[in-house]
Amino acid sequence: IEQALADDSSLMDVHRVHAYVLESLGEYALAIEAYDRAIAIAPNLTFLYLRAGAGYRRLAFESPNEEVQRQLFEKSLEYFAQTARINQQLGVEDPAPYISIAKTYSQMGEFFIAIRNIQKAIEFEPFNPVLYGELGMLYHKNRNYETGILALGCAINGCTAEQSCDGRGGCGPNDEPSEVPGLPLDSSTVYYYDVYASELAALSTPKVNYCPQALDVARIVETSEYISDPNIAADMAVVRTICTFDPEPTSSASSSTPTTEPAMVEPTPTP
C-alpha cells in the first residue's frame, strides 16, 4: 500500500484501502486520516463517512477521559449526520446512518435519542426484523419494558402490518405499516430472545400472564447451543423461577434483567 500511495495518491481507492489496513491494525486515528483523504477526493461516497465515524466512536469507547470521550462521540455523530444529509440530497433512502447514530447515542447512554433514530431507520425498512430487535433492546435500556416486548415480539415472532406499528411505538405520517418476518435464533439474535423471555416473565401478572410465552422462548434458548453461555443460562433459570409460581406483579422488569450486554447490530458499509 505504501508503494500505491507513492505511485498515485490522487486515487480514492488507495486511501480507502490504506484506511482498511490501518483499521485492521487497530490504528483508528490514522485510519480516520486516511478516510478523510479519500473523502476529500470523493465527497459523496457515504460509506467513507460511516467508516470514519465508526472510527471516532471506537476511539471514544477506548478513551478513559470522559470529556475527550464525549468530544469523540460528537465527532462520530458529525460524520453520520453528514452521511444522512448526502443521502437526502441524492434521494437515497438508507437506514445505515441512523443505525450508526443510534449506536453512538446508545453508547453515550442517551437511549431516548437512540430510539428516535432507530425509528427513523424503520421508516426506510419497515419490514426489517433486525431493526425491531434493536429497537426492543433500546426500549429495554430505557426501561420502557412494555413497549420493548412489542418490538421484540415483532423481531422474534414476526408481526402483522398493524402490529408493526405497535412494535415501533406507533405509526406516524411517514411510517408505512408492514408485515415483519420473525428472526430465527442464532448468534446475532440470541440476546433478543434472552431479553424478550426475561421481560415477558418479569411483566407477568395474574391478569396479564405472559409466562406461557416466556417459557416458550426460554425453551427455544435452552435447547440451543447458546445455553452453554453461563449468563444466558442464568437468565433462563430466572425466567423459569418467576414462572414456576403464579405470576405476581413486579415493581419493574429489572428483577429479570438479562446479565449480558449485546452490541447493537450495525451494517458494514460497502462501496
Q: Which residues pair with 159 in a beta bridge?
A: 180
- Dihedral of alpha carbons 255, 261, 262, 266, sign: positive
Q: Which of 121-125, 228-232, 249-253, 257-261 has the least mean pLDDT?
A: 249-253
pLDDT tens for each residue of 32-60: 999 999 999 999 999 999 999 999 999 99
pLDDT band, residue 8 (cuts 50/70/90): low
Tell me which of 112, 142, 172 is where a domain ends.
Answer: 142
- Please give the residue range of the domain that contains residue 65: 2-142
Which cell numbers hold the place of 222?
Answer: 435452552
Where are the alpha helices (H) located in 108-252, listed in sequence order? 111-124, 129-141, 145-157, 161-167, 190-203, 211-222, 230-244
* Judgement on whether residues 199 and 101 belong to the same structural domain of the protein: no
CA angle centred on 20, ends 15 and 26, rounded to 5° = 125
- The domain total for the chain is 2
User: What is the domain-level CATH number for residue 18?
Assistant: 1.25.40.10
* Judgement on whether residues 239 and 118 belong to the same structural domain of the protein: no
Is 190 a residue whose pLDDT tops 90?
Answer: yes
pLDDT tens for each residue of 84-114: 999 999 999 999 999 999 999 999 999 999 9
CA–CA separation, 102 and 119 (whole Å): 10
* Judgement on whether residues 6 and 132 belong to the same structural domain of the protein: yes
CA–CA separation, 260 and 117 (whole Å): 23
Is 266 domain-assigned? Answer: no
pLDDT band, residue 120 (cuts 50/70/90): very high
Is 168 domain-assigned? Answer: no
Q: Which of residues 239 and 267 earns the better pLDDT score?
A: 239
- pLDDT at position 227 is 97
- Phi, psi (degrees; rounded to nearest 5) at 172: -95, -170
pLDDT tens for each residue of 164-186: 999 999 998 889 999 999 999 99
* Judgement on whether residues 131 and 204 belong to the same structural domain of the protein: no
* Judgement on whether residues 109 and 203 belong to the same structural domain of the protein: no
Place of cell 438479562: 258
* Judgement on whether residues 121 and 21 belong to the same structural domain of the protein: yes
Is 3 a residue whose pLDDT tops 90?
Answer: no
- Cβ within 8 Å of residue 57, ≥6 positions away: 72, 73, 76, 103, 104, 107
